[in-house]
């Protein structure tokens, strides 16, 4: 929930956990936060200082090691007097690029200590990062773009996180170049109905290369190069292509297997590049074709119908938090996402993010409707977020895509020719009853029309709603 | 679920997790396993070897560090060829005293490798530990016991884990000495209706000392010395008392703030001590008084009524998995637990253990009825265990003690004079609907009589059952 | 030696260590490297992959953990195929700001593997960091400087490391502001005879504040804020003073207890600030007074005499590597250091740096004379560096300041009123014999005049020389 | 020095290090200590608590992580009040089996705190381990031995460390079985002139198997199974052989690739096994042949001559600390070591152990003559130990085997067919001058006769002596 809040709000969020067990419970979720550069400032309870070494009940033994390597920085202050500075350090560390989660364990009795007088300085502290390109760096970059015969942009989640979407559009327009989204995106960096939009790159080596074939310059911004998922060996780049990589994360820059990396402020770089790049005589790209048409089989709602319905009736600035892994391709082909901050997906594919993150995002954006699109398997990781939504009347809409199976894995088992695989199905779950048990009004539908009605009912009701939709099984 | 299975079964259980996110999700639960000495052998998925360094999607970066410090040992084999030996090492490490969870990360493509021929030796490996007292050590111990004027036994969970309960009874009988359970017990090491049984020591320094006042020899077996919880400074021991500490865990021995520790096989030590100790002329202890009588207020079931009812109608060899923190004292005063392996509680108080552990324990003990006694807050941590119970028709009985609040914390806030504290209550949860949503038949009761009926219905039904009991708020 | 080479050269140096023992031996030295931002790329040997888990002889168990936390990054590739990319990642990580040492463990049999074809991309990789101030950031900074009544500059070692010395001089001249060196400097960022030079700030809270009294703006560049050493509580800053902190290290920015930090390219920031700052009507600062006069007691050479002699007869562009802790104040008051890269001191005070670093620096700068100024205690940490100098005829001059005691500690014991402290003295060492034993020509002197003769003999001899100087005991 | 002291003395030794740099310097040496099970209790200085987080000068950031994984346990107490208990825990942890080094970082200002009253209990603490075989375990072991047709003993350093040498002799005599020393031994567990003694097993898989060919039972005690060094794949055991492994280290037991391991008190197990094993009708083994004769080439002393001379003229109970890697085989074939504690070698082959360990061993054993046998390369790692010996008049005899090259590596390069390898030679070192420079009387010899004279002069001189012996190059 905090992660959804921090990502949607774009700044640090404070999370307080219960000692070792609470920290342990949170670590699965941190696998996403650390890759979504989510600036969570996590504090955790700890036993009385003098008793930690005895490993008394609830002592968090070796507390600073516990969340590693899933945080950017972790500490337990050496004494009560250093608690204020340590928390200050945590906030500044979380928020400096590349942003990320941080952890501070605070012994119980420290809160009884008196803050040292010098802690007053902490209130006036600021830390800022200068990541502007130097004039030579900019000139080199402009030269690379201007001299390219057929450039292509590949944009990642940090373009959206740093509100550089409009700069990316200006650059794409100036270059008349196609735009891909980097593999496995956790945010949407570019309007999906812009004439340059080409969709999401596949998450495999050869697939990326095939998609980028024919380009002599690949300009990547705001993504690792590249976050492959499925191992299919192959060529890293089309023959003769040059890859230039703009990122705010030195780690991403250093570990990439190819390319020339520039660690910089992405928004500044894209904006200045859009200003300085020469006009091109490449023809303007044609508009995108219409949305692919949809025809369900009748027995259940086809996900494409579902998304098409949402596209038509949801507010234009709706925020989608999605965790339905078998409908990825369908989603990107049906949706019209044009605003910054419209889409969130677990950055490491760590399931359990979606439902609570939707609640958190709705808290961060009271003025936008948040829609959670959650698979029936995923929903159970954090089903109790429904209770929070009910208790605090957070008006999020949760759509459960219920196909009764782990669709992405089922597809993957087929790809691997694994034969019949056990444990894939999740039959026998009635989300309407469960939601009711947690105090959220819910309904179940089996047609797109019924979904539309239910969704329109939910909009503006001023309280959370859950719609269970029986969906057809699709492949990612 | 695996932890409950391993604890009830008394041997290693294999757990397979999904890479970093799955590991992260499991870590909260490991805070209990590491202190309950639960021999979990945990394997985790990992990406293709050559892609881990690039931090591709689902790569478990620095995998062997991730579960630390909550495992006894952790590794990622250096190459496919060493996977068999590493898993063998994991199993032997988990199972050698002091037992504990271990972790092995196995890259995806390793499973395609061929096991080296020498791996055949692994199938014939065994590791055993000799922890018998030497003859001098035994003589010293006997001398300590024989020369004590007024000895007392303090027993911990490892007495139960190592099936030394009967040896402890023999020793208590020979010495005519009282027996306490060490603070915050996760298992029941001694029959609760035996004339020597004195209950559970309080989890605070001065409280322990007060309870042990007058004894000149404190013989602790199978517990840390001591697992305090609430920090109240005071004397560690009654004036002049000598503490002798039998443990199978060298870490427990080394870190204790007092006492003479002997790292040994507890069952062997207690048994030989019971054999060799001299007969005493201390008078036989009187039988325990009757159970305290119970009088509910009428509006809801008093936990004491609930436990008294269970005592009367549950099978004598029932196994209780308990995670209701506000009813601890009441439970111990009402129950008659006489068999090995009758009671499990989260060893670090890490909530979320109870409901799934009850399911796991029932899998390990098809011949005994497992009863989960779960608070309404706790139940939500792992509510989806109900689905597993339903799908596999595991005949566990889950009793939800529903008082609508976090009773233990509410009491603690009063102890600390914290005034009105927010976020304590968990209203608005209907467990009957939720259980139904997951496929488990459930009922809600408000009287002890209705509870008895519902419980008897559940027994022998050959399927899981959940009984939501509205209970009065009590203090731990 | 490698550290001295990397620091003097200003770029990555490759170090190859022998498995765990070699790594262990190197870790003391890394305490300096990690704070001097020395981009050492360290590789270490490792046993055959399939045998590491068995902990065979020379296996480096948990190799990637071994150098932590003294490296910026550490890894063992997951397989032979990823060795090239991992080493590439190491080089780029070491060299990106903030620079620092990195570590890669490579199993023995990996070198027999074939590099994957895609490794060809690594040869064309580059990583660059953009740290230019944005136009608003620069304007704010200029405004801060222009509106200050009485600004002061505090410069740290990274000003020298980033070759920003001349920009600092231009800025000081434009502002007519005094310049201090940040406490415990490991490099010299500013000409010591420039009219603005005020010396080195003391390494204690109150001492810094006293030294900065009266200034309303403290502009710190290229240093932590602040690297105190001696704990004397006090005010962090003069009343009403504002501290602005320019650093290339986000860690330094985040952890400081006060000030407004800007993580940026220091050279760029100082240069543009010197360009853009308004002319001031503050009067030009008066020239520095003459060097303090020196009068030894006669029995041995006073360090001030020694340094004055060096100032007079050593080449103007000589490089001093100093590790004589009891002569710090004297050194700064006597030397005339005006060139970039003229001075190196162990950045964490980790002794043993000096003698080998002088050898390494001489290797990096064949065109400048390197002079090692080494205490008689320090010299023994790495005395065998003399052998390397002899074997490779590296013409470094090593001056041993021999006062027979650990002067800095002796002084500190007095400060702490510790009474007579044992183990301070190092009598009975004859460096002339030892140097001879390692093949370096050496001489011992007891007067400044004899030192001058010996030093002039050494200059241009085309081989290393050691001069043991019996010195008077001074205080830091 | 401390390691040599602790090993020779057989109990914990306190080592105090200087913060991070001192710890770093010590880590190379710890690679040996952790495998020799040396119970070093290491404390390290640390900055004032409230300043550590700021990373002030000499702060040991993340101190408890620094020595990992080369210590058994590591901690920084959470507050001053817990320092006494933490140091107590360190001592007990170091000394419980399997023994090993431990580390405690203590902040500077903690020493000003007052010890809590309960710390008095620490003075009366004891921890003991019971590792006696249970009666069934013993019976199984006796049965294994009695039923073996042709058993063989393989003994490791822990037999010597646990003073079980005589029990091993009794067992070998009873069984009329041959005895090998496990590969790469760091101590001598068995009299080298006993009729059962067969020498040291080679450190390669196939070599061990070849040496053990024909045996149906391999009983290993006090060693890992096995500490191979050179990777030569092969069969782990002769066809049909059974391996039983007695060890006090659960880690050794768990990670071995073969065999049935029994974690126990080795001395107790060997002694009781010698008592209980049946008499055998296998014939008594013949006495060992005479020592191989020695014929040097004349130009320098052959190591065999040197060792034969020592055998003749050194006291029978002399202690040898050896770090000359190219003379291993020669040494074992020439020496007559019959007493417990007669031989020490770096347990991980981490060079630098020998010279200071010899000094430390002499401190631990004033009543026995310690002889350091040190290669000319090795000697330089810790050459300053000579100064300590001189200052404290520690009457150790140091013999430098000077062949001017790194003989073991030169041989290894030949094995690997590596061609001409650079950097192997260490010419131009005059140990007589160096020793003199540090205050130790020294002499250089070129014949065995001169060595004998020099050695006899050194014996009983009541001060340290160094003898540089020009030796012929041999192979390990």
User: In which residue are the tokens 């409009």 written?
Assistant: A166
* Chosen from C48, C53, C77 to mutate, greatest number of chain B CBs within 10 A: C53
How much is the mean pLDDT over chain C? 95
Mean pLDDT of A173-188: 97
pLDDT tens digit sequence for A400-423: 999 999 888 888 888 888 888 888
Query: How far apart are the CA of D47 and the nearest CA of chain C, in angstroms?
Result: 8
B23, B103 Cβ separation under 8 angstroms: yes
Quick one: pLDDT at residue A295? Answer: 75
Q: D352, C25: Cβ pair inside 8 Å?
A: yes
CB contact burial D276-310 (16+ within 10 A = b; e otherwise): ebeeeeeeebeeeeeeeebebeeebbbbbbbbbbb
pLDDT tens digit sequence for A332-375: 999 999 999 999 999 999 999 999 999 999 999 999 999 999 99
Quick one: pLDDT at residue A384? Answer: 97
pLDDT tens digit sequence for C328-369: 999 999 999 999 999 999 999 999 999 999 999 999 999 999
pLDDT tens digit sequence for A265-304: 999 999 999 999 999 999 999 999 999 988 767 789 999 9
Q: Look at residue D297 and tell me whether its pLDDT is greater than 80.
A: no
Counting as contact any 3 or more CB pairs under 8 A, the partners of C are: A, B, D
B253, B277 Cβ separation under 8 angstroms: no
> For residue B98, what are the contacts with CB-CB under 8 A and spacing of at least 6?
B37, B72, B247, B248, B249, B250, B251, B252
CA atoms within 13 A on the CB side of C199: 16
> For residue B45, what are the contacts with CB-CB under 8 A and spacing of at least 6?
B16, B17, B18, B19, B22, B58, B60, B105, B106, B108
Quick one: pLDDT at residue A207? Answer: 95
Counting as contact any 3 or more CB pairs under 8 A, the partners of B are: A, C, D
CA distances from D456 to A302, C407, D450 (A): 97, 40, 10
Percent with pLDDT over 70 in chain C: 100
The ranges of chain B with pLDDT < 70 are 296
Mean pLDDT of A6-19: 95
Q: B75, C53: Cβ pair inside 8 Å?
A: yes
Q: B133, D132: Cβ pair inside 8 Å?
A: yes
Quick one: pLDDT at residue D236? Answer: 94
Quick one: pLDDT at residue B298? Answer: 72
Q: Which of A50, A78, A82 is the closest to D81 by Cβ? A: A50
Q: D70, C20: Cβ pair inside 8 Å?
A: yes
| A-chain residues near C259 (CB < 8 A) | 121, 125
Q: C48, D231: Cβ pair inside 8 Å?
A: yes
Q: C79, B49: Cβ pair inside 8 Å?
A: yes
Q: B79, C49: Cβ pair inside 8 Å?
A: yes
Instruction: Give the residue, C417 or D220, on which the prediction is more confident.
Output: D220
Q: Is the peptide bond before D69 cis (omega within 30 degrees of 0)?
A: yes
Q: Which of C53, C76, C81 is the closest to B85 by Cβ? A: C53
Q: Look at residue C298 and tell me whether its pLDDT is greater than 80.
A: no
pLDDT tens digit sequence for C174-200: 999 999 999 999 999 999 999 999 999
Which domains are assigned to chain A?
Answer: 2-123 (3.40.50.970), 135-276 (3.40.50.1220), 303-470 (3.40.50.970)
pLDDT tens digit sequence for A61-99: 999 999 999 999 999 999 999 999 999 999 999 999 999
Q: D434, C431: Cβ pair inside 8 Å?
A: no
State the pLDDT confidence band at D372, using cuts at 50, 70 and 90: very high
Residue of C nearest to A84 (CA): C257
CA dihedral D364, D366, D371, D376 (to 10 degrees): 60
DSSP label at residue C352: T
Q: What are phi and psi of B185, to 5 degrees?
A: -70, 140
Helices (H), A265-342: 266-276, 303-313, 328-334
| D-chain residues near A51 (CB < 8 A) | 82
Quick one: pLDDT at residue D232? Answer: 85
Quick one: pLDDT at residue D294? Answer: 81
State the pLDDT confidence band at C411, using cuts at 50, 70 and 90: confident
State the pLDDT confidence band at C408, using cuts at 50, 70 and 90: confident
Quick one: pLDDT at residue C34? Answer: 95
CA atoms within 13 A on the CB side of A216: 7
| B-chain residues near D270 (CB < 8 A) | none
Quick one: pLDDT at residue A411? Answer: 86
Percent with pLDDT over 70 in chain D: 100
Q: What are phi and psi of D227, to 5 degrees?
A: -90, 75
Query: How far apart are the CA of D415 and the nearest CA of chain B, in angstroms?
Result: 25
Q: What is the spatial distance between Cα B90 and Cα B107, in angstroms, rounded to a whole number?
A: 16
Q: C54, B85: Cβ pair inside 8 Å?
A: yes
Closest CA to C195 of C286, C262, C279, C71: C286
Q: What is the spatial distance between Cα D82 and Cα D110, in angstroms, rounded to a whole number?
A: 9
Quick one: pLDDT at residue B266? Answer: 97
Q: Look at residue C122 and tell me whether its pLDDT is greater than 80.
A: yes
| C-chain residues near D416 (CB < 8 A) | none
pLDDT tens digit sequence for A218-236: 999 999 999 999 888 899 9
| C-chain residues near A257 (CB < 8 A) | 85, 88, 118, 121-122
| Backbone CA torsion sign across A165, A162, B57, B52 | positive
| D-chain residues near C55 (CB < 8 A) | 224, 227, 251, 255
Q: Which of A96, A121, A133 is the closest to C253 by Cβ? A: A96
pTM: 0.96
Query: How far apart are the CA of B89 and the nearest CA of chain C, in angstroms?
Result: 9
Q: C26, D23: Cβ pair inside 8 Å?
A: no
What ipTM did this prediction achieve?
Answer: 0.95
State the pLDDT confidence band at A201, using cuts at 50, 70 and 90: very high
Q: What is the spatial distance between Cα D375 and Cα D373, in angstroms, rounded to a whole number?
A: 7
DSSP label at residue D186: S
State the pLDDT confidence band at C295, using cuts at 50, 70 and 90: confident
Counting as contact any 3 or more CB pairs under 8 A, the partners of D are: A, B, C
Quick one: pLDDT at residue D475? Answer: 84
pLDDT tens digit sequence for C307-317: 999 999 999 99
pLDDT tens digit sequence for D400-413: 999 999 888 888 88
Quick one: pLDDT at residue A445? Answer: 97
> What number of C-beta contacts closer than 8 Å exist between A and B?
195
State the pLDDT confidence band at C238, using cuts at 50, 70 and 90: very high
Q: Which of D21, D228, D387 is the closest to C348 by Cβ? A: D21
Q: Look at residue C324 and tell me whether its pLDDT is greater than 90.
A: yes
Q: Which of A50, A75, A116 is the closest to D79 by Cβ? A: A50
Closest CA to C160 of C333, C320, C325: C320
Q: Look at residue D420 and tell me whether its pLDDT is greater than 80.
A: yes
Token code pair at residue D470: 């020009």
Q: C49, B81: Cβ pair inside 8 Å?
A: yes
Q: At how many degrees (to 10) do helices B303-313 and B448-458 cross? A: 40
Counting as contact any 3 or more CB pairs under 8 A, the partners of A are: B, C, D
Q: Which of C130, C256, C268 is the closest to A264 by Cβ? A: C130
Quick one: pLDDT at residue D61? Answer: 94
Q: C52, B81: Cβ pair inside 8 Å?
A: no
Q: Which of C31, C62, C183 is the closest to D21 by Cβ? A: C31
Quick one: pLDDT at residue D421? Answer: 86
Mean pLDDT of D245-255: 96
Quick one: pLDDT at residue A475? Answer: 85
Strand partners, A169: none
Q: B50, C89: Cβ pair inside 8 Å?
A: no
Q: B428, A24: Cβ pair inside 8 Å?
A: no
| A-chain residues near C260 (CB < 8 A) | 124-128
Q: D263, B128: Cβ pair inside 8 Å?
A: yes
> For residue D45, what are the contacts with CB-CB under 8 A and spacing of at least 6?
D16, D17, D18, D19, D22, D58, D60, D105, D106, D108
Q: What is the spatial distance between Cα D472 and Cα B441, in angstroms, rounded to a whole number?
A: 87
Q: C50, B89: Cβ pair inside 8 Å?
A: no
Q: What is the spatial distance between Cα A225 and Cα B308, in angstroms, rounded to a whole number?
A: 64
């Amino acid at each position: 929930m905090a992660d959804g809040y921090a990502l949607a709000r774009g700044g640090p969020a404070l999370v307080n956990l219960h000692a070792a067990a609470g920290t342990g419970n949170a670590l699965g979720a941190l696998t996403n936060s650390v890759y979504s550069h989510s600036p969570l400032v996590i504090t955790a309870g700890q036993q009385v200082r003098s008793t930690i070494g005895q490993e008394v009940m609830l002592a968090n033994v070796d507390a600073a090691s516990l969340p590693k390597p899933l945080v950017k920085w972790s500490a337990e202050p050496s004494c009560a007097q250093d608690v204020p500075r340590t928390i200050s350090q945590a906030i500044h560390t979380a928020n400096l690029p590349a942003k990320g989660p941080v952890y501070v364990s605070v012994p119980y009795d420290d809160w009884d200590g008196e803050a040292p007088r010098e802690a007053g300085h902490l209130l006036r502290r600021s830390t800022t990062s200068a990541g502007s390109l130097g004039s030579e760096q900019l000139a080199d970059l402009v030269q690379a773009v201007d001299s390219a015969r057929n450039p292509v942009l590949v944009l990642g989640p940090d373009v959206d996180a740093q509100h550089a979407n409009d700069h990316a559009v200006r650059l794409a327009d100036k270059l008349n170049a196609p735009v891909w989204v980097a593999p496995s995106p956790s945010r949407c960096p570019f309007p999906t109905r812009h004439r340059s939009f080409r969709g999401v790159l596949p998450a495999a080596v050869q697939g990326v290369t095939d998609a980028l074939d024919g380009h002599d310059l690949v300009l990547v911004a705001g993504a690792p190069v590249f976050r492959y998922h499925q191992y299919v060996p192959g060529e890293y780049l089309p023959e003769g292509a040059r890859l230039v990589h703009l990122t705010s994360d030195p780690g991403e820059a250093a570990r990439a297997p190819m390319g020339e990396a520039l660690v910089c402020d992405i928004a500044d770089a894209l904006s200045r590049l859009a200003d300085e790049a020469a006009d091109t005589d490449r023809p303007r790209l044609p508009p995108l074709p219409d949305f692919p048409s949809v025809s369900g089989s009748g027995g259940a709602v086809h996900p494409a119908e579902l998304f098409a319905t949402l596209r038509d009736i949801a507010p234009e600035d709706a925020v989608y938090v999605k965790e339905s892994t078998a409908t990825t391709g369908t989603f990107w082909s049906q949706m019209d996402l044009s605003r910054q901050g419209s889409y969130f997906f677990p950055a490491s594919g760590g399931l359990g993010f979606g439902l609570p993150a939707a609640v958190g995002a709705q808290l961060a954006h009271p003025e936008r409707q948040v829609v959670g699109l959650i698979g029936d398997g995923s929903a159970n990781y954090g089903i109790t977020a429904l209770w929070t939504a009910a208790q605090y009347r957070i008006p999020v809409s949760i759509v459960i895509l219920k196909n009764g199976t782990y669709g992405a894995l089922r597809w993957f088992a087929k790809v691997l020719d694994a034969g019949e695989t056990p444990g894939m199905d999740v039959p026998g779950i009635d989300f309407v009853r469960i939601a009711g048990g947690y105090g959220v009004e819910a309904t179940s539908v089996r047609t797109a029309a019924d979904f539309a009605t239910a969704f329109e009912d939910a909009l503006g009701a001023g309280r959370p709603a859950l719609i269970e939709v029986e969906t057809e099984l699709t492949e990612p």
